[in-house]
Structure 1
Amino acid sequence: KEIKEAIDRQLEALEFFPNYHDGFTVPQIRLADKIAEIAPGDLEVCFFLSSGSESNETALRLARQHHWANGKPHKYKVIARRGSYHGTTLGTASYTGFTSLRECFEPLLPGALFAPQVKCHDCELGCKPETCGLRCLKAVEDLIKWENPDTISAMIMDPLPGSNSGYPPPPAGYLQGIRELCSKYDIFLIFDEVQTGFGKTGKWFACENWGVTPDMMSISKAITSGYLPLGMMVTTKKIASVFNEKPGAEFRSGSTYGGHTVSCAAALANIEIIEKENLVERAAEIGQYLTKKFAELKARHRIVGEVHGMGTLWAIELTADPATNKKLDVDAGTFVRDWCWKHGMILRNNGNILVIAPALIITNEELDKVVEYLDQAIPAAIKHFAL
């Protein structure tokens, strides 16, 4: 109700004004101040957009132009991770780590480099977390050295890998190590917080769970609670200052509807509700509750394998043998999804990974209902496929 009322008030006062040629609206200014207040570290300069894809694209563009302005035009390559997803533009598709989402658009932008995805329970390097010594981190530095750090502009990653990967948490020390590598080799670290921002992980932004601050951060999705489209790229004053040094140095990017006046009003109302109702703290409580509930669920069903998540972002992997992580050769995930939809619960899947991402305002009773649905849908899948 409060968000709708904020939208209505803004429509009456001023429905739109473009944010270029030094033109800004009051909602934009207020929202930029609020984001600077809640963002981690010294991230406080906001660039307004309309979506997560645009936000990631803009961060990559800013990194390139920054190096160019500093006399380093050869720093154009971007490191991403296999199994990552960063958007629908040609640029962000170039740095998305799924072949199926890239191949039909090739050739894509040059300079896309891919490091291993970090899934300790299913390590593509064949390592075990207790003995590997962060081999995945060493692989990133090996890649940087092989490609020549003087050619690498940025590394883009989601601090908590997204639903496509099943929210596997990074091993201890990994994100801190990535931060150190990027600083060492003059590579901008970009965190894609489009999916994980605004309380979803029990912190305002996922990276705060590991105490690591990027050079740039992309945000969208939950910034307006879905009422209207809005995106943002946030960086530091030090980085942004390069674009204010002299006439012609300005960042050469922009979007007519980026930071739409009404969207900014909706975002302000949304953030006010999150703060007033302590929903970030509530997300942390939800995470603790689901940790227990999903552990019990796993014990009840022999095809439930790895369960990963934090706050309100969770993934349950269906496997043929949880002990060995042997994959199912049937699409049980889609069966479970369809069963839940038919019975009144919206569920997403990526193959045999079930994605559970409830709202910040969900109650424990409603969470129990989620588990109840899964307790019925998973045996139905076992019976259907004779597993």
Structure 2
Amino acid sequence: MGEDTNVFYRDPFAEYPMVAKGEGIYLTDTKGKRYMDACGGAVVSSIGHSNPEVVEALKAQLDSCEFAHTSQFTNRPQEELARLLAEIAPGGLNHAYFVSGGSEAVESAIKMARSYWVQMGRPEKWMVIGREQSYHGNTLGALAAGGNPWRRAVYEPMLYQRPRVAPCYCYRCPFNKQPESCGLECAEDLERAIKEVGPEKISAFIAEPVVGATAGAVPPPDGYFRKIREICDRYDVLFIADEVMTGVGRTGKWFAMRHWGVVPDMLTTAKGLAAGYVPIGAVMVHDRIVDTFNNRRNVFQHGHTYMGHPLAAAAGVAVINYIKKHDLVEKSARMGDELMARLREHLGDHPHVGDIRGKGMLLGVEFVADRETREPFEPEWGFKRLVGEAAFKLGLIIYPMSGTIDGRRGDHVLLAPPFIITKAQIGRLVELLHRAIDQACDQLRASGKLKT
């Protein structure tokens, strides 16, 4: 970015245009170029940019109170947001523990699980098991629970070791099963992992209902989470559903776990909770866990300075009310089906598109060098980068990632536009994405790396 900045950028070698304005599903830079935000930043902007109703709610809260520490006060927006979340969360998840983002939410849930078992007189239960190719946040506890090798690599000496649980990844089933022969071996692998360590040591199991960044909108096979719930109950293991990415309407339900009628013990949410207007996250906690603390008159020894922040909570209230008022959860499901149909129509036969998948408005496109063998592109070719850069030049913002298969091999893009997108805009999105993919393929052909 040059030497005239004091910002420590997340990628100091990238060139970032200066954003000037957001409106609806578009962002505009200071040079006047407009970009379609087809991924909501990082699956955040669910109701679009510069929504006047949310902006007015934030202004009103600033006129009232900007901050009061939750060790001393509660506040109306926090109380209201907790009530709204209890109404839309799966049954029994009636208490909200507010934080400032997704990593904090997962970290809080992990510590809450540990503290719960201590209250229950079982202090030996401390370990949290996650899945291969999972991602739950960048704080050390959340990173330790995740299973993405690339994200863990630098910090591996600081992370506790645990057994690995297979992902549910039907396109590349780790058990070489086809849908018609699936016996939910991926779910049963959790039982294997629990027995390997000893159930007396396992505090919780954590999973994303639809795997987001690391694998590209991978949904589970039918019955997967029912089996997970059964295994957790059998071995006294808490189940944490990581809905940081999938929560608050993103998959066509208020929370993705509602697709399968399974109630976790805790549920984390963040990105879409205030739709990017103010940072906020939450852990939705089941009544029986809260009752355990209350009945023993114990305090959950944990906390963050900005938890329950009045401005952030006011944004969350305004966003949920706006989604309800305009039936945007239903629209997320409907427009997600539209986007999926358009992607399959235009890219379903593309020689370098292997799989198109997802739920609601969280969809993924996985790329391959060979459709028949499902062989991925060589990691060194940087195919996801080529697609992302081509799309950005065309005025389309997508969420490209590599390491889809094992943290190193494989490329995909996530698509997660705001729920307010129109059919015409979906058509334009797919057109630009198709062009970006073709341009990336042309670059590989021109370099002699790709022969077809």
TM-score w.r.t. structure 1 length?
Answer: 0.96
| Aligned counterpart for 2:356 among listed residues 307, 310, 319 | 307
Deviation of the 1:245 alpha carbon: 2.3
Structure 1 residues 190-242: Cα deviation after superposition (integer angstroms, max 9, x where no partner) = 00000011111000011111111100000111111100011110111211111
CA, structure 1 residues 112+20, in 2 after alignment: closer, same or farther (shift >3 Å)? farther
Deviation of the 1:300 alpha carbon: 4.5
Deviation of the 1:15 alpha carbon: 0.9
Please list, as runs of the form range in 1=range in 2, the aligned pairs for 1:218-237 lying within 5 A after superposition.
218-237=268-287
Rounded to whole Å, the distance in 2 between the matches of 1:363 and 1:147 is 50
**Comparing 77-86 with 322-331, which one deviates more in the overlay?**
322-331
Work out whether 1:6 is the aligned partner of 2:65: no
| DSSP 3-state at the match of 1:315 | strand
| Aligned counterpart for 1:85 among listed residues 122, 132, 135 | 135
- Alpha-carbon contact 1:78-1:111 (below 8 Å) kept: no
Give the letter aligned to residue 9 of structure 1: A
Q: Which residue of the partner structure matches residue 107 of structure 1? A: 157
> Which stretches in structure 2 are left out of the alignment for 5+ residues?
1-51, 403-410
| Aligned counterpart for 2:308 among listed residues 252, 259, 282 | 259
> Which stretches in structure 1 are left out of the alignment for 5+ residues?
none
Give the letter aligned to residue 160 of structure 1: V
| DSSP 3-state at the match of 1:114 | coil
Rounded to whole Å, the distance in 2 between the matches of 1:338 and 1:169 is 27
Rounded to whole Å, the distance in 1 between the matches of 2:243 and 2:319 is 17
Rounded to whole Å, the distance in 2 between the matches of 1:347 and 1:236 is 35
Rounded to whole Å, the distance in 1 between the matches of 2:306 and 2:119 is 27
Rounded to whole Å, the distance in 1 between the matches of 2:282 and 2:315 is 14
| Aligned counterpart for 1:344 among listed residues 395, 404, 415 | 395
Please list, as runs of the form range in 1=range in 2, the aligned pairs for 1:127-138 lying within 5 A after superposition.
127-138=177-188
Q: Which residue of the partner structure matches residue 250 of structure 1? A: 299
Q: Which residue of the partner structure matches residue 291 of structure 2? A: 241
| DSSP 3-state at the match of 1:190 | strand
Q: Which residue of the partner structure matches residue 193 of structure 1? A: 243
The alignment yields a C-alpha RMSD, in angstroms, of 1.3
Please list, as runs of the form range in 1=range in 2, the aligned pairs for 1:117-156 lying within 5 A after superposition.
117-156=167-206
Q: Which residue of the partner structure matches residue 415 of structure 2? A: 356
Q: Which residue of the partner structure matches residue 373 of structure 1? A: 432
Give the letter aligned to residue 309 of structure 2: H
Rounded to whole Å, the distance in 2 between the matches of 1:153 and 1:57 is 14
**Comparing 131-140 with 36-45, which one deviates more in the overlay?**
131-140
Give the letter aligned to residue 161 of structure 1: V
| DSSP 3-state at the match of 2:396 | coil
Give the letter aligned to residue 377 of structure 1: A
| DSSP 3-state at the match of 1:10 | helix
- Alpha-carbon contact 2:119-2:296 (below 8 Å) kept: no
Give the letter aligned to residue 237 of structure 2: I
Rounded to whole Å, the distance in 2 between the matches of 1:13 and 1:7 is 10
Rounded to whole Å, the distance in 2 between the matches of 1:100 and 1:109 is 14
Deviation of the 1:171 alpha carbon: 1.0
Please list, as runs of the form range in 1=range in 2, the aligned pairs for 1:202-221 lying within 5 A after superposition.
202-221=252-271
- Alpha-carbon contact 2:275-2:319 (below 8 Å) kept: yes
- Alpha-carbon contact 1:298-1:305 (below 8 Å) kept: no
Q: Which residue of the partner structure matches residue 336 of structure 2? A: 287
Please list, as runs of the form range in 1=range in 2, the aligned pairs for 1:308-327 lying within 5 A after superposition.
308-327=357-376
Deviation of the 1:105 alpha carbon: 1.6
| Aligned counterpart for 2:217 among listed residues 167, 170, 193 | 167
Rounded to whole Å, the distance in 1 between the matches of 2:68 and 2:145 is 33
| DSSP 3-state at the match of 1:81 | coil
Rounded to whole Å, the distance in 2 between the matches of 1:300 and 1:186 is 46
| Aligned counterpart for 2:99 among listed residues 49, 59, 83 | 49
- Alpha-carbon contact 2:351-2:371 (below 8 Å) kept: yes
Aligned length: 385
Give the letter aligned to residue 214 of structure 2: N
Work out whether 1:75 is the aligned partner of 2:164: no
Work out whether 1:61 is the aligned partner of 2:111: yes
Give the letter aligned to residue 360 of structure 1: F
Rounded to whole Å, the distance in 1 between the matches of 2:53 and 2:356 is 35
- Alpha-carbon contact 1:197-1:222 (below 8 Å) kept: yes
Work out whether 1:31 is the aligned partner of 2:102: no
- Alpha-carbon contact 2:353-2:368 (below 8 Å) kept: yes
Bigger relative contact order (CA 8 A; separation at least 6): 2
Rounded to whole Å, the distance in 2 between the matches of 1:46 and 1:374 is 38
Rounded to whole Å, the distance in 1 between the matches of 2:296 and 2:146 is 35
Give the letter aligned to residue 194 of structure 1: V
Q: Which residue of the partner structure matches residue 334 of structure 1? A: 385
Deviation of the 1:175 alpha carbon: 0.8
TM-score w.r.t. structure 2 length?
Answer: 0.83
Q: Which residue of the partner structure matches residue 18 of structure 2? A: none
Rounded to whole Å, the distance in 2 between the matches of 1:347 and 1:298 is 16
CA, structure 1 residues 310+132, in 2 after alignment: closer, same or farther (shift >3 Å)? closer
- Alpha-carbon contact 2:168-2:187 (below 8 Å) kept: no
Q: Which residue of the partner structure matches residue 27 of structure 2? A: none
Q: Which residue of the partner structure matches residue 274 of structure 1? A: 323
Rounded to whole Å, the distance in 1 between the matches of 2:214 and 2:77 is 34
- Alpha-carbon contact 1:58-1:233 (below 8 Å) kept: yes
Deviation of the 1:252 alpha carbon: 0.8
- Alpha-carbon contact 1:301-1:378 (below 8 Å) kept: no
Rounded to whole Å, the distance in 2 between the matches of 1:324 and 1:175 is 30
Rounded to whole Å, the distance in 2 between the matches of 1:128 and 1:359 is 33
Give the letter aligned to residue 87 of structure 1: G
Rounded to whole Å, the distance in 2 between the matches of 1:132 and 1:15 is 53
